[in-house]
Amino acid sequence: MIGSEEFRRLWLWSEEARREVRAARSARLADLVSRVAEEIEFERGLLVPHCPRGENVPSESRFRLLLERSPFAVNVVARDGTSLFANERWNELWGLPAGGVPGNVCSDAGTRRAGLPPHVQRAFAGARTEVSLKLDGAGRPGGPTGERCLRVLAYPIPATTGDGHREPESVREVVILAEDISARALLERDLARRAFHDEMTGLPNRSLLLRRAEEALRRGSGEVALLFLDLDDFKQVNDSLGHAAGNALLVEVARRLATSVRAGDTVARYGGDEFVVLLEEVSGPQEAAGTARRMLEGLRTPFLISGRAVTVTCSIGVATSEADDREPPCPELLLSRADDAMYRAKLDGKDRLSLSDPDASRTDRSVLPLPQSLDGQS
């Protein structure tokens, strides 16, 4: 099974690959726009008919052939927004009848719902625009359904004088090229989710936790607290009930912990039976300790796992970003302090919390007591 760290690296690689693909696609779009602009000029008789382009066919036929063979949905729009040329991919994308002539893109219900008209207007003002849009696909009889992601390029084509020279400040038409990237966007979202979330519990993983903690510390709008939780004697659950039951228990613990925090806080699975909670904008250690006590109390209620009532407790270490002139707070430092505090809670008898003491030396973890069995016998 691929771990979260591998998924994180895969997601970062996909981001780099996507940038390269986007650059290549942009080059293809620019080439297509250049050819469309050339054909429009040819249509007006501004290019000599024996230019090296191949087949001796009427210019309009050649132009429509170019559009129909394009992998993109293409529409050439006049200044009033009406369509001059469009291919069938355009009709398919917007749910228009096959073989029909698109109407005014600035007043069409589908394009307005997707937010396309403002970008077309900017193109008529001379700005080449490349944007990502969302289309809900609703309200068009027989058209595609469900939300779709579109990548759209609106490219201005300058007007030309009688001798064939362009007038850059005057735009005669705009070429709109659109691509349905829904499948790619869904894949990217899935990769991002797997890269920064624990696959079993659905909680944020260590990478996302540290990122959010760093952002919270950077904002500096209040103290930040990290709570390090370790389930007490969890190994005995796996040994007595099996790993499937142990995994089911971890999922239920994750759900219960998530209900113990505020909407803006983060509950993350750190690894194994360890969880870390990020509390933002707390008033101090006592507020963070109050949240930790609620979690302790919430976990004491038995879980129903594989038809059996299973009781589990945890030890919690609490660290906050109080001013420390020696070591400015950072996510890794807070995490280390919370981890140390959690082990002190273990040494003090488990099923309790311990506040971090920056002056304390690192706990000697070799003196931890031996675990007890589920029925409390050594």
H or E element at residue 7: helix 4-43
β-pair type (353-355, 314-320): parallel
The residue behind tokens 């430092």 is 333
Helix (H, G, I), strand (E, B) or coil at 136: coil
Distance CA 124, CA 176 (A): 11
From the list 270, 259, 375, 377, the residue with the least C-alpha distance to 316 is 270
Token digits of residue 166: 């362009």
Distance CA 349, CA 203 (A): 28
Distance CA 279, CA 276 (A): 10
Distance CA 375, CA 378 (A): 9
Token digits of residue 254: 């994750």
Asked if 90 and 81 touch (Cβ cutoff 8 Å), the reply is: no
Token digits of residue 84: 């001059």
Which listed residue (232, 265, 273, 340) is catalytic?
Answer: 273
Region at 358 (left for phi over 0; alpha for psi -120 to 50; beta for the rest): alpha
Say whether 273 is catalytic.
yes
From the list 172, 176, 198, the residue with the least C-alpha distance to 258 is 198
Asked if 12 and 195 touch (Cβ cutoff 8 Å), the reply is: yes
Q: Which residues contact 49 (CB under 8 A, 6 or more apart)?
A: none
Asked if 197 and 4 touch (Cβ cutoff 8 Å), the reply is: yes
The string of DSSP codes covering 260-290 is: TS-TT-EEEEEETTEEEEEEEEESSHHHHHH
> How many other C-beta atoms are found inside a 10 Å radius of the C-beta of residue 197?
19
Distance CA 241, CA 239 (A): 6
**Residues with a known catalytic role:** 273
